[in-house]
């Protein structure tokens, strides 16, 4: 599933990369207690223990069992326990039941990881003997594990959020203080940087090529790059902020059906939504649960943890719209989006960050990192897309209906994992990812 | 919501059209017993009595109450009882509870229709005094009622199908006999016309304009015609037949996850799907419930009553794919699709019909009428689409997510209701409409 | 299942009784429209058409098919369509799907009844040749049909109640007027008879025999009469009135968990119960839906349409308790309860009636008729009870857990159907029967 | 809620008892990993961490906060987190959500326990100053914690059972070996003691007193001892064995509706029940999950983990019935049941044990300990029962409908916790407790 030639499969470099990615997964779980690693409060959220095991299962199933003669699996039941959704690979634990399994315990899962890492390290020393197909799977496995790192970050947040104790995942806040009272909030507000004003940046119409066309790795769903015809449009130069979204809330946005898709409006009423996920009101001020505990809502920071329905309703209220994924990708190339401008998993911020008040208003900020940006494009196969044969054909292809595309990565995405052509996808009602809003508007010519 | 100028709003012609459409709705219910008009076996299916009343409510609410001074509504509670989904117009009966209301009885609903028809007839004599906005609503009302005629035809089929007695809606079959035994089936099979062989018809790539661009009426969701860039592709010259689909069934198509979208595969297993809706096996032969009772499956006729999941799985199995809606519409214009070649509601066939064995293999058949054709395009707003203000903004706009577009009309669509730009839409799991399969494939250049 | 000898199986008398019971079922449906006979708004409520057919199925299945050589069933599918719950007799329509079947229509069901009645009439002329087992089944069939007459009365009420039009089943009210406004209510209140004051009547402790011990027919669940030891207790001399129950409502009874069983309290909150079923408030006054449309609540009349949870909570609030079924039956014999003092189906009142203000305070009123009286006894088999072999063993025995006993019949029970030993039973949450409250209290000796 | 005078509230003895009970709860959790203490695989099963905290909350809420001036609660949120079902004490975590809370972690809960134990120890040194009401609550608290010890034992079993790894709670088996193969099973079978043959023991009819009438503590639901009249009956001298129950399975008991209550039969089909909970078949032999992992079914041991429906169906099949609770209690007194003959929590067997093959056939075995015995008596208030005022009135009273009584304690009950008058209660479908079958039959006189 790695489709562009690997420049130089030099063994040391691969081993280093492999181990770095593997270490990162465990580092994310280091602040957790064993108790935190088993629960599954909603079906979307998998137990961290499961993530640690499933990513390991991937290496064992797709690489070690294929390329190591006489490889001994760590435990014969783990193939059943830690298969995620591959019908090709037999039966598996029902997804909704992942949180019922206290065993194997975390310690056994860590031993499983060590067993597999040792076997992988040994295998990677034999690099010369390995075919190109091995390196394609290796690259895929690294990106697979990075995807689960993002899920680890967001699932951990959800797990800790269910306790009324609002426990902090990390003790030291990044640029902020824990909110213990409404007084803190007032202080936080006065300290908080002014929002950079939003501006509209034009993108000319024309025929553009979308899909993977840079170097390196991509997923199969980015393939079959193809041309699209776009009308001229404008994109806002930064993400929508908490302050802007609060204006929507205060204008009664959650109580006016006219802004909402029908299925979204039903959800708003059935679930009693009044604000983004994790927001709570204390003494009239808005706080939100974060990896650092309960914190005041920062006006200048991007609003996040929104469903598509909320992003779309906000855009309607604001007299704008969401971009399509082709518009988004074209704009990202047009404005020269680079990962190094954004907030990533490695920052340990676990929160999208505001644009500096003095940021260049003619530049397009936050395209990569900070928040996944909902597009108004269904997650469908690109023209010419073909599912791979075998189990890996189930990696992406069978999800290509009923979901929407999100673009650009988030503060929970590893920096090396993202591309302008990267296609993430969720159902319209999901809110537990770091999802936000980028506004677009059509230009009448 | 009628967006192109009305050529000549001559009162007599409008009155004739109005009454013809209204009569057609009642004619569809003439074969029913009062008992048939109240039940709602699944939430998608509305009671015929409700359709008759709701279409009447539309005229009363949007036209009579607006344009007739001192208009007296037939009954003050009917606004609540027969509002379908307009939040703008207040509360309403929960959609799933339409089948609990035995009252008002059919006779009262028919009196309601007569009351409103008399008032409309009187109003239409005052044509000169009425503004253009009235005629836009009048046109919309006629198309609204035609939409419900199609639903009447398909909902009646579903309602009658739930009885083990398999009652016939119409006694005389159109080109066929009721099947009482497997012997009949063998006979039917030997009588049935040979299928016309399928051929692939090329459509050149290029920039095409899609959306409403002909004369007359259209719905708002067809508006904002715009250009799209298409790669060259081929379309099959007719719909997939029952014989072809049966080959998929017999090849184990319903038991092999590899052809299916993930959510479709879960549904196949949870619901035990083994064939299209309404198909049953008797003594080894396939029959299907029709408006004429239980009949043998006709090999040369188009397969119908399929979900998107089944249409898509079949296409995967057949090594092809479904067209996008832009491809479909472009091909329909390219091949000069005309309504008069298809099977419509007015035929009383209530079944898609086979292509004649000697049909021209270089022509594209059945594009309009016979079966709605699933496309692999999400039902989203066209670029530049704008929701109307007020209640009519809820007509189409709020459904523009999570559904797929179907094109071309069916044997249950009134002939005057269809256009090449017409966009129908359903969730991927729906099967009670006359939905079928048109195959497409990409051309490697 | 008729366990006491039949006095004189004289054919004419049996024919007269048979036809009278059959006519009564159809008379109950005479005011209905065909539309009313098919719907099933909740799973507990069966369509009237189904009741008419199922009672007919009983005769065909248990008598005609057994005792008439070469009997031809009316329709081969009806055995499947109209079996209620007898596993012994094969598969059947799912209970929750009875309301999806518009066919066979009412006319066919009436023809079915005529077919069976003619066959039964012919059979009953051959009385001399019929064994005693036939007469036992005949007696059982008559009581079975009377049970369904009660259900017809209560199910019709529920069906008509779901329409916001509040249609009247009977046009002429019995001792009251339709309430169109709060003014009517005030008038009704001033007109309404004063409540007879409640008094407590003592029943001495001792060993009593309970269960069927009079003459005539009984159901198998009354059998195995047996002795019980009762402590002395007191019973109230009449049913709890609407005025008394209103005091409970106004005292916050529905908002104070302390009076409620845990599962009842959860239901109160989940369903938002604030009053008995069918009660609605208009302009500050309480009305209730009746067979005569919407009527003011009559203070002196017995409160009805209560769940066990409400009856029990009221008793707790009132410092009393519900009687056990042994207490109830013993008191009924002790006070010489007679059917002719109560309100029955035949009265066409379809409403429990107040005790006359000048009624004897030392007599025990309303024990039979008016309202079923919730007891605090689980519906279990009596000691020594034995399930009959064959299908009739499913008549009562398999329901003997998780339900509570109600005693005394109601205004929807045929007068000839009741006995002091009669055991009715429903789950604790059911409210659509005419169920009310009789208070009891223990006596400290 | 301790209703008989406390003989000698000598402080040292109370302190010793208090600490012993508290230690026992923690000892039960000692073999667990932190991961095991948080999950809630079904709503009936609470996380062990929750049990440890809730029992501690009881002491803090009902004793320390009431009797220690200026008592400082360990954490202000714990009152919300660890309230089980007391509406009197405010809102609480939804019961079904107990398994979503990873925090507070086990370590904090143990610190909570230490904090409360220290405060209790200090308080108990001031014994002379404490009123009798304190000692009543103290006694109640000890029995409350013992109830949760039984739940800990059974909930832990369920939690570990959900893992396909079948982990053992205890490594060393009590009188048995872990079964790894069918060969083990054959060996186990040949080793297993022969079943003691069952005999019927008569109990004469008469007036008996039931309810609490011995010395010491009882729950309020045992109070209001009262007289009942019993017909003569016979009880089997031991519990039904696995071998006997297996005969029922092999005779098709789970496939024949005639033995079952209607709601039980629906459950058998919906859940696919074919054997008791925890039974699995491997290579044709039956095994069951135990606290010691997967073990062969021991023929002579009592069958356990049955719902009421299964116990009742077995009794029907066997031509017998279940006893009522009055019969059970009377027989227990009649046969002089003593705790010291049974298997209790303290044995660490966690499994009911067979009667010795040479046991006295005229004695009644296993009445106390081993398995809870389903009775055919609804769990209702005894005549004269009164709910206590305040929160403790919710302890038992609000559950007194829709459940069935079980008697006699089990191998998971602390020995000092049981009495012949003890009333346990569960819904008819519950199987995760150590519930079994004692047969009774009526005697025809």
Look-up: residue for tokens 């993930």?
B262
Q: How high is the pLDDT of residue B230?
A: 98
Report ipTM for this prediction: 0.93
Cβ distance D376 to C380 less than 8 Å, yes or no, reads yes
Pick among C35, C45, C108, C166 to test the B interface (most B CBs inside 10 A): C35
pLDDT band at B194 (very low <50, low <70, confident <90, very high): low
Chain mean pLDDT for chain D? 91
Residue A314 has pLDDT above 50, yes or no: yes
Interface of B with C in 71-130 (CB under 8 A): 77, 80-81, 93, 97, 99-107
In tens, the pLDDT along A19-39 reads 999 999 999 999 999 999 999
Query: Cβ–Cβ contacts within 10 Å for residue B204, how many?
Result: 12
Is residue C142 packed enough to be buried (19+ CB in 10 Å), middle (13-18) or exposed (0-12)?
buried
Q: How high is the pLDDT of residue A138?
A: 96
Q: Could you tell me if B160 lies within 8 Å of chain C, comparing CB atoms?
A: yes
Q: Provide long-range contacts, Cβ within 8 A and 24+ apart, for B94-98.
A: B95/B43, B96/B40, B96/B43, B97/C41, B97/C162, B98/B40, B98/B46, B98/B47, B98/B50
Answer for the pair B217, B414: CB distance below 8 angstroms, yes or no.
no
Q: How far apart are CA D45 and CA D156, in angstroms?
A: 8
**Which chain A residue's Cα is nearest to D49?**
A35
Q: How far apart are CA B19 and CA A421, in angstroms?
A: 55
Nearest by CB: B442 against A383, A404, A428:
A383
Q: How high is the pLDDT of residue A172?
A: 66
Answer for the pair C241, C439: CB distance below 8 angstroms, yes or no.
no
Cβ distance A39 to D97 less than 8 Å, yes or no, reads no
Q: What is the largest CA-CA distance in chain C?
A: 67
Establish how many alpha carbons lie within 13 A of residue D388's alpha carbon, considering only the half-sphere containing its beta carbon: 17
Q: How high is the pLDDT of residue D193?
A: 57
Question: Which residues are paired to D321 by β-bridges?
Answer: D440
Task: Name every chain C residue with its beta carbon within 8 A of the beta carbon of B36.
Answer: 102-103, 105
Query: Cβ–Cβ contacts within 10 Å for residue C9, how many?
Result: 17
Q: Could you tell me if B214 lies within 8 Å of chain C, comparing CB atoms?
A: no
pLDDT band at A90 (very low <50, low <70, confident <90, very high): confident
- Average pLDDT of each block of 10 consecutive residues along chain C (445 residues)? 42 84 98 97 96 98 95 95 89 88 97 98 86 94 98 98 95 51 43 74 98 95 96 98 98 97 97 97 95 96 98 97 98 94 95 93 96 98 89 89 98 96 98 98 85
Q: How far apart are CA B130 and CA B63, in angstroms?
A: 11
Task: Name every chain C residue with its beta carbon within 8 A of the beta carbon of D258.
Answer: 87-88, 393
Cβ distance B101 to C36 less than 8 Å, yes or no, reads no
User: Which tokens go with B430?
Assistant: 């729906």
Answer for the pair D205, D232: CB distance below 8 angstroms, yes or no.
yes
Query: Cβ–Cβ contacts within 10 Å for residue D231, how many?
Result: 17
Q: Could you tell me if A226 lies within 8 Å of chain B, comparing CB atoms?
A: yes
For residue D175, give every residue at least 6 positions away whose Cβ sits within 8 Å of its Cβ, in sequence order, or none: D349, D353
Nearest by CB: B231 against A226, A312, A402:
A226
Find, among C25, C5, C445, the residue nearest to C203 by Cα. Answer: C445
Q: How high is the pLDDT of residue A193?
A: 57
Closest-CA distance of chain D to residue A103, Å = 6
Which of residues C9 and B278 earns the better pLDDT score?
B278
Cβ distance D104 to A80 less than 8 Å, yes or no, reads no
Q: How high is the pLDDT of residue D7?
A: 45
| 3-class SS of residue A385 | coil
Cβ distance C164 to B77 less than 8 Å, yes or no, reads yes
User: Which tokens go with A233?
Assistant: 């449009």
Any idea of the CA torsion for C260, C266, C270, C271, to the nearest 10 degrees?
Answer: -40
Q: How high is the pLDDT of residue A175?
A: 46
Nearest by CB: A261 against B207, B258, B400:
B400
The class level of CATH for C182-442 reads alpha beta
What is the residue-wise DSSP string for D24-77? HHHHHHTT--GGGGT--SSTTPPPHHHHHHHHHHHHIIIIIHHHSTTPPPS-TT
Residue B93 has pLDDT above 90, yes or no: no
Q: How high is the pLDDT of residue C68?
A: 95
Task: Name every chain A residue with its beta carbon within 8 A of the beta carbon of B227.
Answer: 229, 231
In tens, the pLDDT along D229-269 reads 999 999 999 999 999 999 999 999 999 999 999 999 999 99
Q: Could you tell me if D404 lies within 8 Å of chain C, comparing CB atoms?
A: yes
Look-up: residue for tokens 């673009």?
A407
Cα→Cα distances D287→D22, D23, D184, D246, Å: 34, 33, 10, 12
| 3-class SS of residue C219 | coil
Q: How high is the pLDDT of residue B189?
A: 44
Handedness of CA C241, C244, C250, C252 (dihedral sign): negative
Q: How high is the pLDDT of residue D197?
A: 84
Go through A172-196 and write b for each residue having 16 or more CB atoms within 10 A of its CB, e for each that does not.
ebeebeebeeeebbeebeeebbebb
Q: Could you tell me if C171 lies within 8 Å of chain B, comparing CB atoms?
A: no
Residue B249 has pLDDT above 90, yes or no: yes
Closest-CA distance of chain A to residue D434, Å = 21
Q: How high is the pLDDT of residue B192?
A: 54
Q: Could you tell me if C135 lies within 8 Å of chain B, comparing CB atoms?
A: no
Q: How far apart are CA A433 and CA A151, in angstroms?
A: 8
Residue B276 has pLDDT above 90, yes or no: yes
Question: Which helix (H) or strand (E) covers residue D160, if one does?
Answer: helix D132-161
Task: Name every chain B residue with its beta carbon within 8 A of the beta carbon of C53.
Answer: none
Q: Are strands B279-282 and A435-436 parallel, antiparallel or unpaired?
A: unpaired
Go through D105-135 and write b for each residue having 16 or more CB atoms within 10 A of its CB, e for each that does not.
bbebbbebbebbbebbeebbeebeebeeebb
Closest-CA distance of chain C to residue B39, Å = 6
In tens, the pLDDT along A159-179 reads 999 999 999 999 865 444 444
Q: How high is the pLDDT of residue C345?
A: 97
Find, among C213, C437, C138, the residue nearest to C308 by Cα. Answer: C437
In tens, the pLDDT along D112-142 reads 999 999 999 999 988 678 999 999 999 999 9
Chain mean pLDDT for chain B? 91
Which of residues D59 and B9 earns the better pLDDT score?
D59
Cβ distance C261 to D378 less than 8 Å, yes or no, reads no
Nearest by CB: B34 against C34, C81, C103:
C34
Chain centroid to Cα B318, Å, comes to: 26
Handedness of CA C389, C390, C395, C396 (dihedral sign): positive
Question: Which residues are paired to D206 by β-bridges?
Answer: D230
Q: How many helices (H) and strands (E) are present in chain A, helices listed first? A: 11, 12
In tens, the pLDDT along D302-354 reads 999 999 999 999 999 999 999 999 999 999 999 999 888 899 999 999 999 99
Q: How high is the pLDDT of residue C183?
A: 44
Peptide bond into B255 cis (omega under 30): no
Q: Could you tell me if A328 lies within 8 Å of chain B, comparing CB atoms?
A: no
| 3-class SS of residue A285 | strand
pLDDT band at D172 (very low <50, low <70, confident <90, very high): low
**Which chain A residue's Cα is nearest to D76?**
A165
User: Which tokens go with D304?
Assistant: 């356990």
| 3-class SS of residue A442 | strand
Residue A7 has pLDDT above 50, yes or no: no
In tens, the pLDDT along B195-226 reads 778 999 999 999 999 999 999 999 999 998 99
Q: Which of A190-194, A421-425, B299-303, C55-59 has the weakest average pLDDT?
A: A190-194
Q: How far apart are CA B177 and CA A36, in angstroms?
A: 66
Q: Where are the domains of chain D?
A: 14-161, 182-442
Answer for the pair A397, A88: CB distance below 8 angstroms, yes or no.
no
Is residue A347 packed enough to be buried (19+ CB in 10 Å), middle (13-18) or exposed (0-12)?
middle
Look-up: residue for tokens 């069966």?
C46
Task: Name every chain D residue with its beta carbon within 8 A of the beta carbon of A102.
Answer: 33, 35-36, 38-39, 159-160, 162-163
Q: How high is the pLDDT of residue B178?
A: 43
Q: How far apart are CA A161 and CA A69, in angstroms?
A: 45
Answer for the pair A435, A374: CB distance below 8 angstroms, yes or no.
yes
Which of residues A384 and B58 earns the better pLDDT score?
B58
Q: How high is the pLDDT of residue A126?
A: 82
């Amino acid at each position: 599933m790695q489709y562009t030639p690997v420049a130089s499969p030099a063994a040391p470099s691969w081993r280093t990369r492999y181990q770095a990615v593997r270490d990162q997964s465990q580092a994310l779980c280091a602040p957790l207690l064993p108790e935190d690693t088993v629960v599954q409060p909603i079906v979307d959220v998998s137990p961290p223990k499961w993530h640690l095991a499933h990513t390991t299962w991937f290496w064992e199933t797709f690489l070690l069992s294929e390329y190591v003669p006489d490889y001994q699996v760590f435990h014969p039941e783990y193939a059943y326990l830690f298969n995620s959704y591959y019908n090709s690979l037999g039966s598996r634990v029902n997804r909704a039941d992942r949180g019922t399994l206290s065993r194997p315990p975390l310690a056994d899962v860590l031993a499983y990881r060590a067993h597999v890492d040792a076997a992988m390290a040994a295998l990677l020393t034999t690099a010369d003997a390995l075919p190109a197909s091995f390196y394609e799977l290796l690259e895929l496995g690294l990106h697979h594990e990075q995807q689960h790192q993002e899920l680890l970050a967001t699932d951990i947040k959800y797990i800790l959020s269910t306790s009324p104790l609002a426990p902090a995942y990390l003790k030291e806040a990044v640029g902020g203080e824990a909110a213990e009272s409404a007084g803190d909030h007032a202080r936080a507000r006065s300290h908080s940087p002014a929002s950079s004003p939003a501006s509209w940046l034009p993108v000319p119409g024309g025929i553009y090529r979308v899909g993977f066309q840079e170097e390196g790795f991509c997923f199969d769903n980015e393939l079959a790059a193809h041309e699209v015809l776009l009308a001229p449009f404008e994109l806002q130069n930064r993400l929508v902020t908490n302050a802007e979204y609060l204006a929507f809330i205060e204008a009664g946005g959650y109580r006016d059906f006219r802004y909402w898709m029908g299925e979204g409006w039903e959800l708003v009423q059935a679930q009693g939504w009044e604000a983004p996920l994790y927001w709570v009101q204390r003494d009239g001020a808005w706080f939100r649960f974060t990896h650092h505990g309960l914190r005041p809502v920062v006006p200048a920071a991007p609003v996040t943890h929104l469903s598509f329905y909320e992003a779309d309703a906000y855009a309607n209220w604001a007299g704008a719209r969401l971009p399509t994924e082709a518009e988004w990708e074209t704009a990202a190339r047009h404005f020269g989006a680079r990962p190094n401008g954004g907030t990533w998993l490695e920052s340990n911020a676990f929160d999208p960050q505001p644009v500096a008040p003095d940021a260049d208003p003619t530049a397009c900020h936050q395209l990569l990192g900070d928040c996944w940006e909902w597009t108004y494009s269904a997650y469908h196969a690109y023209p010419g897309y073909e599912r791979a044969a075998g189990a890996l054909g189930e990696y992406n292809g069978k999800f290509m209906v009923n979901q929407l595309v999100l673009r650009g990565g988030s503060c929970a995405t590893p920096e090396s994992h993202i591309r302008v052509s990267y296609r993430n996808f969720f159902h319209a009602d999901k809110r537990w990812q770091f999802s936000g809003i980028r506004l677009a508007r059509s230009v009448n010519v």
